Structure 1
Amino acid sequence: MSIQTELSSSNAWNLHTRKHISLPIHGKSIVTCLELNVRRDLIITASDDFTIAVYTLSTGQFKFTLTGHEGGIWSLAPVYSDERSLLVSGSTDKTVRIWDLTSGKCLHVFRGHSGTVRCLAVVSLPPVEGDASASRMPVIVTGSRDKSVKVWSIPGNLPNYRMASDEESSADESSSPYHLLTLIGHTDSIRSISAHGHVAVSGSYDCTARIWDIVSGECKRILNGHSEKIYAVVYDPTHDQVYSAGMDGTINVWSATSGLCLRTLIGHTSLIGLLELSSSEPSPYLVSGSADATLKVWEPNTGTLIHTLTTPSVTTSFHHDGKRVLAGGVGMLRMWDIKSGLVVKDLLEGKVSSVWQVAFDGQWGVCAYVEMGSGQSMLDIWDFGGNDSRL
């Protein structure tokens, strides 16, 4: 259902007294990625202008630009520890880079892909059985238009990270000690990666998804069932399930262990390019975004359709925290209450030409968009208030 009724504000979450910051970013270039981290007080944007920009969340203050890529950046993932804040980026220049978010320096360049690095994930491997040492370092899983998935180790020891030498940074995978695996099997571009523990799931334009063991390199399962390209995959380790969606307008729910399709979620009438699972328990939500100008909220374990959220245009980006959904598209940025399906607020009315990216954690909302009239890419930040960031 679609209900165009605004919810009243509460004292803890007040739309009318919010803090709102607006600033120009990346000229008139496309904003391809947006990362929000409240604990680190950071916003990170990436663009097809070959740069990554870092801002202070609470003030909107520009910190620095990360330069070095020789092509547009199409994938980002942070690596946080108590000691360091790092960022991993993938680009059309076929490389993956690691950045220090404190100094703004590029620490390492991974070379080996022969196509755009379209998606990536950073995952902490479980400790080796019988190893009494500290937990394993994270690894990077990258998916490319060259049809391959690669696994890389992060150089050095995270707390004592050293700058890689020029020789190491320029080395290709054949001579790099940090290239662990190349996972071969897909016959078309890799569009989406989702990973947890030793498991990674890749979704491809070859209409299949694959489940990989990123320690052994074994392909555990091939998920056949979609009739057209897969655009999004989500791995849910808690329920041992994989969700996949794409051009055929369906969402398949798979057993990660058996590889069997448990159910197919029907309702969208066009390409599904966006899929996100909230981590809230005991009632997680799966939200899908489609070219049919709707978002759908599903109960992932039963496949029950809970709400259909109608948008004025095709959604280009959305994010939800299990309580609210923030979504943007051509001429719109809208928020819903996920449990009721009610519209909370239309934001940026009359100001936005098209939304590039959104990020949302409950208290904070961030949107990168094209400003109406000027064509300038803008970054808007809202602090909706409240002490509980889960609101």
Structure 2
Amino acid sequence: MVNTTGRSTALPSPLTAGPCSQPQMMVVCPVKSCCFSPDGRLIASSSSDHSIRLWDVARFKCLHVLKGHQRSVETVSFSPDSKQLASGGWDKRAIVWEVQSGRKVHLLVGHCDSIQSSDFSPTSDSLATGSWDSTVHIWDLRVSTPAVSYHNLEGHTGNISCLCYSASGLLASGSWDKTICVWKPTTNNLPLQLKGHTIWVNSLAFSPDELKLASAGYSRTVKVWDCLTGKCLETLKGMLDVAHACIFTPDGKLLVSGAADVTR
């Protein structure tokens, strides 16, 4: 699990856009989002300098600097096959990139406010984006042209702060309205709405068997929910500061959370 601090960070970084030249240490703008590729080979990081960087994990080398956004880039996410990367931010646009070449594949325009979260479907043929316009858009990526259609999932009354697909295609969304919605995106059906957080939801993670959903609130707690009944099974406490992230281990036996207090 990787996480960001939102502070300016010293990183090996090129001085020009495109494929990175020999890295040099320099102070860059705050890193807003980062994630590992599913195959574990790459890390993508986004920044308030409007760019995304792709890093080789083994060599800690910058492979590409992706430029196309006009304002701070708030979210990045890899497709399950690690071949595509999605980004979104304050320019209200999402971009889908080809990882190997760094080429822009799709420009997705339709949200009315900042895009703060994104996640690919398990088959990589659609992308979910969550915005401060309180909607989730599901983009159909199966077309080969840059113009991509989408449909809305409406059920929240606050900013969408996090998204997470399950292996079977369920989609969970967390919001500033303190609720979590669990969707069947193909039917626009909303089978579950989970209530219990006292402040907005920061992070979501399905267990590998999809029986449980973990949620980290912008508080010192992480909740675990029953995906069949919507019942809160556990409220985990012990962090000294805000819980920023949560994720299950691949075998589903452990739940890992990250917080500003550098514990857990």
From 101, 107, 117, the counterpart of 1:216: 101
Shift of 1:110: 6.6
**Following superposition of structure 1 onto structure 2, how do residues 18-37 of structure 1 map, counting pairs within 5 Å?**
35=1
Q: Give SS of 2:69's match.
A: coil
Partner of residue 19, structure 2? none
Deviation, 1:124, is 7.1
Distance of aligned partners of 1:113 and 1:247 in 2 relative to their CA distance in 1, 3 Å threshold: farther
State the partner residue of 2:118.
233
Q: Is structure 2 residue 204 aligned with structure 1 residue 318? A: yes
Q: Indicate the residue corresponding to 1:203 in structure 2.
A: 88
User: TM-score of the superposition, structure 1-length normalised?
Assistant: 0.55
Q: Which residue of 1 aligns with 2:152?
A: 264
Instruction: After TM superposition, give the deviation of residue 312 of structure 1 in Å.
Output: 3.6
Are 2:260 and 1:346 equivalent residues in the alignment? no
Change in CA separation of 1:203 and 1:345 when aligned onto 2, cut-off 3 Å = same
Q: Sort the Cα spacing of 1:368 and 1:235 in 2 relative to 1 into closer, same or farther, 3 A.
A: closer
State the match for 1:184 in structure 2.
67
* Paired residues for 1:364-383 under 5 Å: 364-368=254-258, 377=261, 379=263
Aligned residue in 2 for 1:146: 49
Preserved CA contact (<8 Å) 1:152 1:179: yes
Q: Please list, as runs of the form range in 1=range in 2, the aligned pairs for 1:1-391 lying within 5 A after superposition.
A: 35=1, 73-74=4-5, 92-95=8-11, 111=25, 114-123=28-37, 138-154=41-57, 178-196=61-79, 197-236=82-121, 238-258=123-143, 259-279=147-167, 281=168, 284-314=169-199, 315-321=201-207, 322-329=210-217, 330=219, 332-348=221-237, 355-357=242-244, 358-361=246-249, 362-368=252-258, 377=261, 379=263
Q: Deviations over 1:194-215 (max 9, x none)?
A: 1133211111111000011122
Distance 1:333 1:140 in 2: 25
Per the TM alignment, residue 262 of structure 1 is displaced from its structure 2 partner at its CA by 3.0
Change over 3 Å in CA distance of 1:363–1:204 after alignment to 2: same
Q: How many residues of Structure 1 are paired with residues of Structure 2 in the alignment?
A: 244
Task: Point out where structure 2 has 5 or more consecutive residues left out of the alignment.
Answer: 14-22
CA distance, structure 2, for counterparts of residue 180 and residue 201 of structure 1: 17
Task: State the TM-score, normalizing by the size of structure 2.
Answer: 0.78
Distance 1:324 1:92, change over 3 A: same
* C-alpha deviation, 1:254, in angstroms: 0.3
How much is the aligned-residue C-alpha RMSD, in angstroms? 3.1
Q: In the alignment, residue 183 of structure 1 is paired with which amino acid?
A: L
Any unmatched runs of 5+ in structure 1?
A: 1-34, 36-43, 47-72, 76-90, 98-108, 126-136, 157-163, 165-177, 371-376, 381-391
What is the distance in 1 between the residues matched to 2:101 and 2:233? 47
* Structure number with higher relative contact order (C-alpha < 8 Å, ≥ 6 residues apart): 1
